[in-house]
């Protein structure tokens, strides 16, 4: 055996066929890639050209999109305006309804105030009329008391004049006769303030009841009765005329002239309804209704 049999050789070992094949495959892959790239280059160029064309077309598409957006915004704005208009209409209707309600309430309040004012005025007028009636009755009573006292002093032996004398025949006819006969039929009945019959009367209540017998409604109080009809002188009075004491329009007492210088009247609570001679208490004036 040679002396160098166990010494490793310094020569490079041969490359194996496997490595050759690998290298060949790599080289082939490189060339294949280059070929594919080269072949694909026109396509890439076309793609780039297409991309350029697309880029060129983008402004036109953007303009369409912008116009659509503007139309949508305009439509939205129009709808919003319509909503605002409808809301304004509804608010105006609500305001008008509220104003109408307030106007109606004010009108009702004003009408109620007028009604209360009218009722108050009527009550005040009624109170004044009642006070005037009471004043005339009180004045008539005081006058009657003074006359009675005076007659008793002057003629102590004279019979009492508070009793009704026997009525003299009346020359009244027609409606006047009916008034006179009714008045004389009430002699002896009571005097009650505010009474109008049939069992009691005050002065104007008696005259009013007498004239109702012939279908005539006189005013309620003596002040008004003294200016109802035609004023006549006392020297020309006829049966059925109304006599009054005090001035016309403010009389405090009334009675009915029954003829023969006499009258029938509801004098006061002491005498009641009596028939008296006019000389006993001369009236101020007279009115003719019939």
Any idea of the CA torsion for 175, 180, 182, 188, to the nearest 10 degrees?
170
Q: Tell me, yes or no, whether 183 lies in a domain.
A: yes
pTM for the full predicted model: 0.48
How many folded domains does the chain comprise?
A: 1
Q: Give the per-residue pLDDT at 249.
A: 94
Q: Give the per-residue pLDDT at 231.
A: 97
Range of the domain at 249: 137-155+172-288
Q: Tell me, yes or no, whether 29 lies in a domain.
A: no
Q: Give the per-residue pLDDT at 62.
A: 61
**Tokens (6 digits) for 72:** 């949508």
Q: Give the per-residue pLDDT at 20.
A: 46
Q: What is the mean pLDDT of the chain?
A: 76
Q: In what order do the strands lie in the sheet with 253-259?
A: 230-232, 285-288, 242-245, 253-259, 262-268, 272-277
Q: Tell me, yes or no, whether 187 lies in a domain.
A: yes
Q: Tell me, yes or no, whether 284 lies in a domain.
A: yes
The model's confidence at residue 104, banded by pLDDT at 50, 70 and 90, is confident
Write the CATH number for 202: 3.90.1720.10
Q: Tell me, yes or no, whether 228 lies in a domain.
A: yes
Q: Tell me, yes or no, whether 4 lies in a domain.
A: no
Q: Give the per-residue pLDDT at 46.
A: 44
Residue with tokens 């209540």, as numbered in its chain: 205
Distance (Å, rounded) from C-alpha 28 to C-alpha 165? 173
Model confidence over 125-159: pLDDT tens digits? 666 666 666 666 666 666 666 665 555 444 443 33
Mean pLDDT on 258-275 = 95
Q: How far is CA 45 from each of CA 35, 55, 185, rounded to the nearest angstrom?
A: 16, 15, 145
Task: Please calculate the CA angle 278-282-284 and round it to the nearest 5 degrees.
Answer: 125
Q: Tell me, yes or no, whether 70 lies in a domain.
A: no
**Tokens (6 digits) for 155:** 């003629």
Q: Tell me, yes or no, whether 121 lies in a domain.
A: no
């Amino acid at each position: 055996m040679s002396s160098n049999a166990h010494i490793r050789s310094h020569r490079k070992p041969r490359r194996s066929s496997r490595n050759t094949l690998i290298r060949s495959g790599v080289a082939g892959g490189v060339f294949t890639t280059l070929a594919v790239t080269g072949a694909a280059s026109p396509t890439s160029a076309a793609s780039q050209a297409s991309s350029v064309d697309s880029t060129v077309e983008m402004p036109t598409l953007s303009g369409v999109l912008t116009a659509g957006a503007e139309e949508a915004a305009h439509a939205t704005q129009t709808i919003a305006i319509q909503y605002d208009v409808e809301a304004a209409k509804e608010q105006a209707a609500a305001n008008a309804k509220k104003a109408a309600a307030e106007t109606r309430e004010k009108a009702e309040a004003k009408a109620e105030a007028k009604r209360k004012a009218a009722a108050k005025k009527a009550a005040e007028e009624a109170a004044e009329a009642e006070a005037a009636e009471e004043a005339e009755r009180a004045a008539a009573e005081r006058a009657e008391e003074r006359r009675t006292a005076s007659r008793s002093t002057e003629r102590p032996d004279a019979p009492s004049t508070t009793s009704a004398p026997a009525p003299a025949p009346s020359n009244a006819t027609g409606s006047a006769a009916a008034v006179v006969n009714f008045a004389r039929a009430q002699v002896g009945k009571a005097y009650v303030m505010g009474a109008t019959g049939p069992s009691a009367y005050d002065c104007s209540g008696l005259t009013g009841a007498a004239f109702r017998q012939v279908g005539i409604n006189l005013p309620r109080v003596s002040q008004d009765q003294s200016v109802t009809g035609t004023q006549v002188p006392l020297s020309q009075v006829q049966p059925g005329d109304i006599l009054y004491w005090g001035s016309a329009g403010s009389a405090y007492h009334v009675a009915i002239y029954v003829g023969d210088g006499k009258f029938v009247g509801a004098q006061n609570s002491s005498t009641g309804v009596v028939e008296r001679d006019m000389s006993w208490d001369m009236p101020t004036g007279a009115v003719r209704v019939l």
